[in-house]
Amino acid sequence: MPGEGRGLTFGSASEAGKEAEIGVSVTTPDKIRQLQKKLYLKAKQEPDYRFYLLYDKVYRDDILAYARQLVRENDGAPGVDGVSCADIEARGVEEWLAGIRRELHEQTYKPDPVRRAC
């Protein structure tokens, strides 16, 4: 799988295919990497296969914690709700993650509109 074993990288069209590091040095945990690899291989082996049951993977504790860690390591900016990483840490990360997980599990989570940056 491309980029396997490395931290997160993103490429840009202006770099003619070269990968550009974005400063995120978080290594993907093995359990998440295995899930990604299984999904990748299944999609490659069976191009017509439809993944109908991926929603339950989104709210796994390890996936949510890893996503939060990526945002934190990348100095993620507050969204349209104005909640910053510091605000979340002040309120309690575990409690916040549990709330997001519960909303996703119960399918009551409603994302705010995307913040545009020019």
- Supply the mean pLDDT for the chain: 80
Tell whether 111 is covered by a domain. no
Q: Which domain holds residue 33?
A: 9-105
CB-CB neighbours of 103 under 10 Å: 13
Give the pLDDT confidence score for residue 8 in this predicted structure: 47
Tell whether 82 is covered by a domain. yes
Number of domains in the chain: 1
CB-CB neighbours of 96 under 10 Å: 16
Tell whether 51 is covered by a domain. yes
Return d(Cα 84, Cα 75) in angstroms, integer: 10
Return d(Cα 101, Cα 58) in angstroms, integer: 9
Tell whether 113 is covered by a domain. no
Tell whether 61 is covered by a domain. yes
Return d(Cα 30, Cα 4) in angstroms, integer: 11
* Greater pLDDT, 21 or 41: 41
Give the pLDDT confidence score for residue 112 in this predicted structure: 76
- pTM for the model stands at 0.67
Tell whether 110 is covered by a domain. no
Tell whether 46 is covered by a domain. yes
- Per-residue pLDDT band for 111 (boundaries 50, 70, 90) equals confident
Tell whether 115 is covered by a domain. no
